[in-house]
Chains A and B, each alone.
Chain A
Amino acid sequence: MLRRLVLDVLKPHSPSVVELSQALSRLKGVEGVNIVTYEIDQKVENVKIIIGGNKIDFEIVKKKLEDFGAVVHSVDEVAAGTRIVEEVRTPQDRSARL
């Protein structure tokens, strides 16, 4: 079962992020939603959506986003299981940046 989802989403300006966050937060198994807009174009905007919950259904989330005219560009982070495991930094990450 999914506990956290981080999605990169492209959406029209309307419906707004407020309406989208409220709609996502009402989905079964979702406990909280955070949406950050990081790029705004003339007609569309890119947002990062972080969804936390105890039993998130990815397909239902995707369907809701599509209902709102949004498209999932990528799934950037997923946490599943009884406990959320945070991302850890490894030496390889640092060397990769170098």
Chain B
Amino acid sequence: MGFLATIRNYIKISGVGSISRRYFIMNAFDGATTVLGIVVGAHVAEITNQLWIISAGLGAALAMGLSGFAGAYMTEEAERTVSLKDLEKSMLSDLSNSIVGEASRFASIWTGIVDGVSPTVSAVVCLVPFILSFHGMFPIHLAIQLSIVIGLSLMFLLGAFLGRISDRNVILHGVKTLCVGLVLTSILLIFKLVK
């Protein structure tokens, strides 16, 4: 069995597909929201140095990635160990060397990876305009606008993806998650107005 086929098999056996999908949406959303907050906050504070925003954003992305991986891996590993032990009691046999045990171990690592990578990737994607701006491709105010648009678009896409997997209105779900980003942006921009 090939590498990809083995992974697909483990995902199927462990039933980790829906859990990792949930983790992916939740944490990618977290990543986009966090960087959106940093970017709009930097705009409110009138920070004009791209490197500060990139550093703050990457720091947050790395922290979310590490915390996501460690948290999800440890939680999932503990839960799956209990489930496997339960199953072993019912089977009256050791399942650690069976495909069930392997799939269980794989599921913990897989959820850790999904939980760690999804916020990091979404956060880094939102920071791309600042990286390009840092290299002189466009001014920082345009980078701020682009980053906000990318962040809000990511939120919309994640919501739309939720709508698609639940077989409901894709646009409506996209707008729902977009509203969260708009609320955050509005609150921070109000700070700028009252400052």
Residues of A near any B CB (own CB < 8 A): 10, 12, 14-15, 19, 41-44, 66-69, 71
What are 23 of the A-B contact pairs (CB < 8 Å)?
Answer: A10-B91, A12-B91, A12-B95, A12-B100, A14-B12, A14-B14, A14-B15, A15-B9, A15-B13, A15-B99, A42-B90, A43-B87, A44-B90, A66-B98, A67-B99, A68-B98, A68-B100, A69-B93, A69-B98, A69-B99, A69-B100, A69-B101, A71-B91
- Beyond the given pairs A19-B13, A44-B87, 10 more chain A to chain B contacts, judged by CB atoms under 8 angstroms and listed by A's residue number, are A10-B91, A12-B95, A12-B100, A15-B99, A19-B9, A43-B87, A44-B90, A44-B91, A69-B87, A69-B98
Contact of A14 among B13, B90, B93 (CB under 8 A): B13
Contact across chains for B90 and A69 when beta carbons are under 8 A apart? no
Chain A min CB distance to B86 (Å): 7
Q: Could you count the A-B residue pairs with CB atoms below 8 Å apart for me: how many are there?
A: 45
A42 neighbours in B (Cβ, 8 Å): 90
Asked if B193 is at the interface (CB within 8 A of a chain A CB), the reply is: no
Please give me the residue from chain A that is nearest to B93 by CB atom. A71
Max chain B C-beta neighbours (<10 A), residue from A12, A42, A44: A12
Dominant secondary structure at the B interface: helix
How long is the Cα–Cα vector from A10 to B91 in the complex, in angstroms?
7
Residue total for B at the interface (Cβ-Cβ under 8 A)? 17
Residues of B near any A CB (own CB < 8 A): 9, 12-15, 86-87, 90-93, 95, 97-101
A67 neighbours in B (Cβ, 8 Å): 98-99
The 5 closest A-B pairs by CB, nearest first: A69-B100, A69-B98, A43-B90, A69-B95, A44-B90
Contact of B92 among A12, A41, A66, A71 (CB under 8 A): A71
B13 neighbours in A (Cβ, 8 Å): 14-15, 19
How long is the Cα–Cα vector from A66 to B96 in the complex, in angstroms?
11
Chain B min CB distance to A52 (Å): 24
B99 neighbours in A (Cβ, 8 Å): 15, 67-69
How long is the Cα–Cα vector from A76 to B14 in the complex, in angstroms?
31
Chain B min CB distance to A71 (Å): 5
A68 neighbours in B (Cβ, 8 Å): 98-100
Please give me the residue from chain B that is nearest to A43 by CB atom. B90
How long is the Cα–Cα vector from A19 to B86 in the complex, in angstroms?
22
A43 neighbours in B (Cβ, 8 Å): 86-87, 90
How long is the Cα–Cα vector from A90 to B168 in the complex, in angstroms?
63
Contact across chains for A14 and B98 when beta carbons are under 8 A apart? no
A12 neighbours in B (Cβ, 8 Å): 87, 90-91, 95, 100
B97 neighbours in A (Cβ, 8 Å): 66
